[in-house]
């Protein structure tokens, strides 16, 4: 049995791509997108007509609404391939505006519902800022489920759990990137692999905390740099994986052992914590890696959202 099928015995596999024509070969349960992935997809000949067709059908609408219609159109195509959920992201430029995030989420859900897709098949992706988490709290109360992304710090995960968020996406690879860059020439790749990988350790800590204290929020490891990070998190609720790494897992038959187990989490020496806005902001500020990667991630997604805006305006 290849590694991808082995992994599916412990973990829900999710495809991290806007390239829906690649999905079927991996048979993922769900799929995730983000502004960068959609931008990458629409620049390919296979998907350019979809962009042009969607823009032409809604010419004259405000730019931000046309963008949402493009994102939802990709989501609808993805949902024809996956049996589960698709994650569609709110514009990263709204990451510090709770009310605007809620309003944009309402529009995205309304577009899906108008196309006959129920709320149970859509996750609204929102950056894990304090404002984003509070937007998710409001949306979850309304039955609109959220995927809190750009999550790097333990305090972000705890606050998401307290807000009743459906799912979080801790970014394994970007955490790894920061520590590797910070260490410079002292970085020992072999010694920092597997369970010693700082990104893997971050997800394991969150998973253990949630299972220990019965937090129902789903943990979905994301942003992987190599297959070893994925196999070290076998047993996580979900893992969202790029097509390249899905293909690597399909090509290997090396055995995978379950690494994360809810039963083992029950005996972990972990204490419950809680955050209000002030303590959340302080805890995030104390974590240099999380502070830098959250800001960097929002900036990068905002740049790609701007590029998608320009592509749409040029059509």
Return the sign of the alpha-carbon dihedral for residues 24, 28, 33, 39. negative
Residue 275, SS3? coil
Nearest Cα neighbor of 302 from 133, 95, 87 is 95
> Could you tell me which residues come within 8 angstroms of residue 244 by beta carbon, excluding any fewer than 6 positions away?
none
Distance of alpha carbon 202 from alpha carbon 188, whole angstroms: 19
Which one of the listed residues 125, 211, 212, 293 is annotated catalytic?
A: 125
Distance of alpha carbon 162 from alpha carbon 279, whole angstroms: 14
> How many alpha carbons fall within 13 Å on the CB side of residue 52?
8
Q: Give kind and range of the element (H or E) at residue 244.
A: helix 243-251
- Residue position matching structure tokens 């019965």: 214
3-class SS letters over 82-150: CCCCEEEECCHHHCCCHHHHHHHHHHHHHHHHHCCCCHHHEEEEEECCHHHHHHHHHHHHCCCCEEEEE
Nearest Cα neighbor of 151 from 134, 175, 131 is 175
Whether 211 is catalytic is no
Yes or no: say if 136 and 146 are a contact pair by the CB < 8 Å rule.
Answer: yes
Yes or no: say if 224 and 230 are a contact pair by the CB < 8 Å rule.
Answer: yes
Residue 30, SS3? strand
- Residue position matching structure tokens 């994986």: 241
CA angle 87, 91, 280 (to 5 degrees): 85
Catalytic residue numbers, as ranges: 125
């Amino acid at each position: 049995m290849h590694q991808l099928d082995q992994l599916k015995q412990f973990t829900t596999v999710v495809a991290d791509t806007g390239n829906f024509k690649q999905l079927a070969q991996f048979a993922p349960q769900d799929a995730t997108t983000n502004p960068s992935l959609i931008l990458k997809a629409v620049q390919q000949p296979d998907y350019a007509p979809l962009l042009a067709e969607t823009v032409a059908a809604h010419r004259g609408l405000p730019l931000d609404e046309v963008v949402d219609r493009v994102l939802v159109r990709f989501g609808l195509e993805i949902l024809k391939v996956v049996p589960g959920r698709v994650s569609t992201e709110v514009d990263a430029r709204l990451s510090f505006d709770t009310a605007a995030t809620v309003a944009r989420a309402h529009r995205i859900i309304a577009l899906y519902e108008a196309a006959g897709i129920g709320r149970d098949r859509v996750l609204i992706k929102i950056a894990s800022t304090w404002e984003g988490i509070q937007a998710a709290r409001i949306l979850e109360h309304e039955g609109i489920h959220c995927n809190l992304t750009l999550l790097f710090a333990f305090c972000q995960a705890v606050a998401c759990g307290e807000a009743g968020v459906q799912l979080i996406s801790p970014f394994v690879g970007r955490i790894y990137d920061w520590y590797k860059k910070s260490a410079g020439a002292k970085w020992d790749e072999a010694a920092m692999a597997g369970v010693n990988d700082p990104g893997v350790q971050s997800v394991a800590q969150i998973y253990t905390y949630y299972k220990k204290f019965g937090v129902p929020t789903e943990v979905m490891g994301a942003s992987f740099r190599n297959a070893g990070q994925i196999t070290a998190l076998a047993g996580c609720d979900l893992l969202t994986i790029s097509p390249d790494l899905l293909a690597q897992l399909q090509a290997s038959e090396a055995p995978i052992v379950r690494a994360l187990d809810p039963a083992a989490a029950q005996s972990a020496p972990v204490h419950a914590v809680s955050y209000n806005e002030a303590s959340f902001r302080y805890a995030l500020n104390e974590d240099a890696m999380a502070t830098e990667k959250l800001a960097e991630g929002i900036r990068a997604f905002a740049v790609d959202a701007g590029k998608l805006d320009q592509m749409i305006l040029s059509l």
